[in-house]
Structure 1
C-alpha cells in the first residue's frame, strides 16, 4: 500500500456538467426583454395618449331627446274655453342607450319607496320580468330549469329568447305568489321603465303627486339615474263634456300612436308613445294642435346610464282653434234636447228610440252654433251624449223636406208663383193602399202651394212629382211615370243639400241613404217616387237638413257648414297669439230660382206656424217674437223590439222632425232636429224643442 502524502490534495470525483442554469438564464432574459418592452409600451402610451385615454374613460355621450308640449286649446265663438289643458306634476324616466335590466330593477325598487303606482294592470309576465331582473333570481331560475329547456337534442344552446320564455314560465309557476305589495309596486314601475325606448322619456306617475312626495323624489335624484321631476297635462272641459264627441279624443301615452296611422305618424317625426288626436277635431287638426316638441340634451356616461339632462328648447305650444260654437247656447240646446227626450221616455213614446239629435247654424255663413245629441241604450235605459249622431247617422225626415219639393216644382215649371193650385184628391194606385195625407180623405178638394205647406199635404207633393214625371194615372186602374223621375226629384233636392254630403269640416260625415229605384225583380218603383216627394223614402243626416233649411232661409245659397272659425298661435304665457288662418264662408252652389219662387216657400213655412187652418202643424211656435218660419215632418218607420236582433219582431214607429229659421224677415239662425222611432204620432217633442232652441237664441243674442 502506498503511503499517503500529507501534502497531496485529495481528488474530487468527476461530475457531469448541467445545462439548467443556462436555460433558466435564457428564459429570464427573454422575460426581461418582454417586460421591458411592455413597460416601454405602457410608458409610450402614457406619455403620448394618456390624456386621450383618460378623457375617453370619463367621456359622456350627448343625445337630444324631444318632449311633448301642451296641445293647443279650443275656444267657442265668444272666446270661452271649450277644451283646455290641466297641468299636473309628473315623475318621468329617460332610458339610457345601454341601460341594463338590473339597473332599472335597482331604480324601480328605490323609486318604489317614495311613490306608489297602479298595479292592477300587472300581468303574470310583467311580474316575472321584474323577478328575473334580479341577477340572483335569474341565476337561480336558470339553474333550476331542466336541461331540455336550455339545450336542444344535439346539445346546442337554445335561442336566448326561447330560454327566457322558459324562465318566465318557471317563475310564473313557482314564484309569483312570493311577491309582496312593495315588490308589486316596484314591478309596476319597472314595467313602465322597461317599456321605454332607448333615449326616450316616459311618465312613471302623472297624477296624485303631493308636494311632499315630489320633494322627497327630488332630494334623491342622484340615486335614481334617469328619473326626473317634470310636468304633464290632460285635457279639461270647463264648459261641459257634452260636445266631446265632436271635439274628439286624444290618446294616452300608454295607447300611443293609433295602429292605423302608425307608419304615417312615425314618418312625420312622432314617437310611438306620443299622444295624438284620435278622432274628429282633435284628429283633423292634429298637426296644428300638437305644436313643436321641446328639445332636451341628455348626457350618458360610458356605461350608457343617464348622467344629466338639460332643456335646450322649451318647444312651441300647439296653436288654438276658435270654434263657431257658442258654448252657452250649446249647453242650452243640450239641456233642452235631453229634457224633451226624457219626457218622451217617461211618456212611453221613446221605448224603441235610440236617441235624438239637433243642430243650429247661421244660415248666412254656414257657421255651426250648436250641435247636440243623446243616445239611449234601449236595454239599460241609460242616456248618454252623442252629438256626433247629427253628422254620422241618417234618418227619413218626412214632410220637413217639402220646401225642396215645392221649390223643385217651381224650378221645373210645373207650377208658378201665381198658378199653383192642384187637386187634393187622394191617390189610388192599383194593388196598393190609398196614398193620402194625415187628415181625412176629402177634407180639401184643392190646395195652393202655401196652404199645402201649412197643412203638410202629402197629396199635393205627390201630384207635383206626377207632373214632373209626366205621369199617366187612372184611379184604381193604372199608373205610369217617367223613369227619370227619381233623378229629377233628387236633382232639385241636391241643390238644397238633401241627398249629398254637406262638406262640414268634421271627419266621418255619413253619406245619405238613397233608396233603390227598382224592385228585386227589376220592376220600376213608381210608388216610391211619390213617397220621395213628401220625404218618406230617402234618409238624410241632421246636418243635411240644417243646410237645406238654411238654403231656403237665405234665398238659395247652399253654405258649407263649418265648426272651426280660425286658428291662432299660442303665446309663451299660454294666452292667444296671432291669427294664423280664418275660415271664410263658402257657397257650394246657388239655387237657380227667382225671389218670387222662394217667397212661395217662405210664406208656406210662415203659415205653418201662423196659419189659421186647424191642420197647421207648428202653431206651438206662434208665440215667438220676432216671428219664425218652420216645417214639421213625420215619417213612417219600423224598429225591432230587440235592438241586437234583426230577426226580432218589427213594430211600426215614426220619426218626428222639424226644420226652422228665425227671425222670419231677417234669418239669423236655422235649426234642424229629429226624434227617430217614436210611438206617439201626436207627440209635440219636435215643436217644443224647436221653440225652445229659437227662444234661447233670441235671449242669448238679444233678438227683439
Structure 2
C-alpha cells in the first residue's frame, strides 16, 4: 500500500489574484457604496432644493425710452413737438442665437418691407452665414491653419468666423432682393443688446403691415407692434439753427460725449440732442426712462414682465421768444437782404444778422440770420451767426468809447467839447471822419455821436493814453492804453462772452497791440476807438446797447424762460425752473454819464444836423435811440481760396433801444462785407424791427 504524503503549507499553490488587486477592488466597492449613499441623500434630502433651483428665475430691470419734451415760444405755441407714428419693434431675449434671428427675419419679409439702402457687403455675408447649413459648409472649406493654432489648440470662434468671411468674400455675388430685406431686418435684430428694444421699422409703416405682423406675433418671439416718435416742427425751418437737432436711433450717442452719457444711464442707440438748445438742455428734454422688471427662466426665455415705473416724459422748454415776432424779424431780414442782393451789393457778403433783447432782463426776443453762399447764391437760416460769428462793427460801438472817456475823467457830462481836427501820423493816410475836413471846428459828445465823428473818438483815446502828438510826427501813448480802452469796452460786454444759454458762443477777436517792428500800434489804437479794429459778435453788441439803455447793468442773455413738467398724457404740469434775470456786472458810473450817450443816440434819430446818420427814422413813434456803424472790411475774391486777392468791403451795423423813455427792446444788426452802404440797409431793417414790435405789443407811447 502506497502512502501519500501531504504537501507542506509552503508548497501549496499561491492564489492567482494578487493582493493589490483585491485591495483595489475593495476600494472601488467602498467608493461606489459612498456614491450610492450620496446620491440617495441628494435625492431624498436635497431633491426639493435642486428642483427649485432648476425652476428658479432671474429678475432683471429693463428700461424704455419716453417721448422727448417740447419746446414752446413765449406765448405757449409749439415750436418743436413730437409726432407719434406706428412702429414694428423687437425685444431681444437672453442668448438668442443667430440661426433663430435668421429664421425670424426671413418670416418677417413676408409681412413688411424695409429699407436696404445702408446694407453693406459685410451685412449681407453675416446674414448669409447665419444660416447654419451655409456656415457649416464654408467652415469645412477652411484650411486647418485657419481653425487650429500652432500648438494644436482650437482657435477662438471669432477668429474662425473672420476667416470664414474672408473666404466667402472671394466668391460672394450678393443677395437677391428678398434676401436683402431679410438681411436688413437681421442686422437690426442682431445689433440689439439683450433685453433691449429696437425698431425694425418706424417710418412709413402701413396699416397692412401692422395687421399682418399683429396676426403672426405668436410665431415671432420678441416682435411687437408699438409706437415711436419723431421731432415735429410746426413752423418749418424757422429757428432750426437755434433749436438744434436730435440724433436718430441709428446714429445713437455722439462720439464726443459717449462716455459721459453712458455713465448717466443712456444706451448707445438712444436719441439725444446733438446741437444748441436740444444739446444744452438734453438732461431736461430727455426725461426719465420707464423701468420694467423682467423674469427670465433657466432657459433664458422671458417668463413675465411687470412695470415698476412708467417713465416721465421730458420736460418742456418755454422760450423767451414770441414766434410771431421772430417770424416778422426773419421775414424783414430776408426782405432787406434780398433788396441788397438785387442791387449787386452782396457780391462778397456772407450773410446778415439781427437780434432783439429785453434790455432790463436779458431775455432774447428774436434772433435771426441769413447765410449767403457766394458761389451758388443760396440763402439759408443761420441765426447762430448772432453768437458765433465775429465782425468789425464800426461806429456802432462809439457809445462805449464816450462812456470810457467819461469814466476815465478826460471829459465830463458838462465839459466834453473837443476839437474836430484830423490826426496826421507819419507814413499813414490822414485819419478823419466821413464828412469833409473842416466841416466842424469842435464837437461835444452828443453831437459827435449824432454825426458819428471818428475824430472825436480818436481825441478821446489820445487823452486817455496821454498822447504826445505833433502832426506828421511819430505819436507815443501810455503803454497800457490798449488794456485801458478794452477794459472799458469789456464792462459793456464788447469782447466778452455774454453767457447766453447756447453752446458755441465766440468771444471776439482782438487785434495786435504792436506793429511788425514791435512798436506800439498807435494807429490801430485810434482805429479801435471808433470801432474799426477789434471784432465782436452781434450778441455782444446787443448786450452792450442794453447796458446803456438800462443804466449800467450788464445782463446775461437767455433763451429759456422756464422749464415746465409735463404729464404722460401730454398735459402741462408745474413750472419746475424759472429763469431769474442775471446781472453779470454793474458799471460804477453816475446816471449823468449814461444820459450823455443816450441823448447822443436820441439825436442820431431826432437831431437836426445834416450829417446825422439815422434821421430817416424820426417818424417812428414813440421815438428811440440809435447808433449806426460803418466799418472798412475786407473779403476774399474767392471764399474757398485763402490766397486769393482781398477786396475792400463795407460792414454796416446798428444798435438801438426803444422806446427812448422806457426801453423795452434793444436791437443789434449787422450786414457784413457789402460792396457799398449806400442802401442804408441797417436803418431799413431797424425800422421794421421796431415798428413790428410796437404793433405786436400795442406800444403807442
Matches within 5 A, 1:203-282: 203-282=199-278
Equivalent residue, structure 2, for 1:99: 96
1:644 to 2:640 alignment: yes
Equivalent residue, structure 2, for 1:166: 163
Q: Deviations over 1:300-332 (max 9, x none)?
A: 443324455444421011111111111111111
Of residues 97, 108, 113, the one that matches 1:111 is 108
Q: Deviations over 1:86-110 (max 9, x none)?
A: 1112221111221111111111111
Aligned counterparts of 1:661 and 1:37: Cα–Cα separation in 2: 99
Of residues 603, 606, 615, the one that matches 1:619 is 615
Compare 228-237 and 365-374 and name the one that shifted more.
228-237
Give ranges in structure 1 of 5+ residues lacking alignment: 1-32
Equivalent residue, structure 2, for 1:510: 506
Contact 1:94 1:306 in 2 (8 A): no
1:339 to 2:308 alignment: no
Aligned counterparts of 2:59 and 2:90: Cα–Cα separation in 1: 17
1:663 to 2:665 alignment: no
1:423 to 2:419 alignment: yes
1:89 to 2:102 alignment: no
How far has the Cα of 1:241 moved from its partner?
2.6
Equivalent residue, structure 1, for 2:139: 142
Contact 1:226 1:306 in 2 (8 A): no
SS of match in other structure, 1:479: coil
Of residues 530, 540, 545, the one that matches 2:526 is 530
Aligned counterparts of 2:180 and 2:154: Cα–Cα separation in 1: 32
Aligned counterparts of 1:675 and 1:137: Cα–Cα separation in 2: 66
Q: CA 1:301–1:137 in 2, change beyond 3 Å: closer, same or farther?
A: farther
Equivalent residue, structure 1, for 2:628: 632
Equivalent residue, structure 2, for 1:687: 683
Matches within 5 A, 1:426-441: 426-441=422-437
Contact 1:127 1:176 in 2 (8 A): no
Equivalent residue, structure 2, for 1:364: 360
Compare 274-283 and 394-403 and name the one that shifted more.
274-283
Equivalent residue, structure 1, for 2:120: 123
How far has the Cα of 1:143 moved from its partner?
2.0
Aligned counterparts of 1:307 and 1:111: Cα–Cα separation in 2: 23
How far has the Cα of 1:219 moved from its partner?
2.0
Q: CA 1:42–1:478 in 2, change beyond 3 Å: closer, same or farther?
A: closer
Of residues 163, 174, 180, the one that matches 2:176 is 180
Equivalent residue, structure 1, for 2:23: none
Aligned counterparts of 2:348 and 2:72: Cα–Cα separation in 1: 37
Q: CA 1:501–1:469 in 2, change beyond 3 Å: closer, same or farther?
A: same
Compare 304-313 and 66-75 and name the one that shifted more.
304-313
Aligned counterparts of 1:507 and 1:675: Cα–Cα separation in 2: 24
Equivalent residue, structure 1, for 2:18: none
Equivalent residue, structure 2, for 1:70: 67
Aligned counterparts of 1:220 and 1:98: Cα–Cα separation in 2: 23
Contact 1:392 1:508 in 2 (8 A): yes
Give ranges in structure 2 of 5+ residues lacking alignment: 1-29
Aligned counterparts of 1:587 and 1:420: Cα–Cα separation in 2: 30
Q: CA 1:437–1:333 in 2, change beyond 3 Å: closer, same or farther?
A: same
SS of match in other structure, 2:86: strand
Q: CA 1:254–1:477 in 2, change beyond 3 Å: closer, same or farther?
A: same
Aligned counterparts of 1:211 and 1:351: Cα–Cα separation in 2: 52
Compare 236-245 and 429-438 and name the one that shifted more.
236-245
1:449 to 2:445 alignment: yes
Aligned counterparts of 2:538 and 2:479: Cα–Cα separation in 1: 29
TM-score, structure 1 as length reference: 0.91
Equivalent residue, structure 2, for 1:26: none
SS of match in other structure, 2:199: strand
Q: Deviations over 1:126-149 (max 9, x none)?
A: 000000000011111112334443
SS of match in other structure, 1:613: coil
Aligned counterparts of 1:668 and 1:527: Cα–Cα separation in 2: 38
Compare 38-47 and 72-81 and name the one that shifted more.
38-47
Of residues 287, 293, 302, the one that matches 1:291 is 287
Matches within 5 A, 1:591-602: 591-602=587-598
How many positions carry a matched residue from both structures? 674
Aligned counterparts of 1:225 and 1:41: Cα–Cα separation in 2: 42
Q: Deviations over 1:334-373 (max 9, x none)?
A: 1111222222222211121211111100001110011111
Q: Deviations over 1:266-320 (max 9, x none)?
A: 1211111112222222222222211110112334443324455444421011111
Equivalent residue, structure 2, for 1:549: 545
Aligned counterparts of 1:60 and 1:172: Cα–Cα separation in 2: 43
Aligned counterparts of 1:601 and 1:80: Cα–Cα separation in 2: 38
How far has the Cα of 1:572 moved from its partner?
2.8
Equivalent residue, structure 2, for 1:19: none
Equivalent residue, structure 1, for 2:20: none
Q: CA 1:100–1:305 in 2, change beyond 3 Å: closer, same or farther?
A: farther
Aligned counterparts of 2:262 and 2:399: Cα–Cα separation in 1: 50
TM-score, structure 2 as length reference: 0.92
Q: Deviations over 1:39-62 (max 9, x none)?
A: 999998777677666666665543
Equivalent residue, structure 1, for 2:474: 478
Equivalent residue, structure 1, for 2:563: 567
SS of match in other structure, 2:536: coil
SS of match in other structure, 1:472: coil
Aligned counterparts of 1:36 and 1:203: Cα–Cα separation in 2: 59
SS of match in other structure, 1:318: coil
Aligned counterparts of 1:591 and 1:206: Cα–Cα separation in 2: 56
How far has the Cα of 1:176 moved from its partner?
3.8
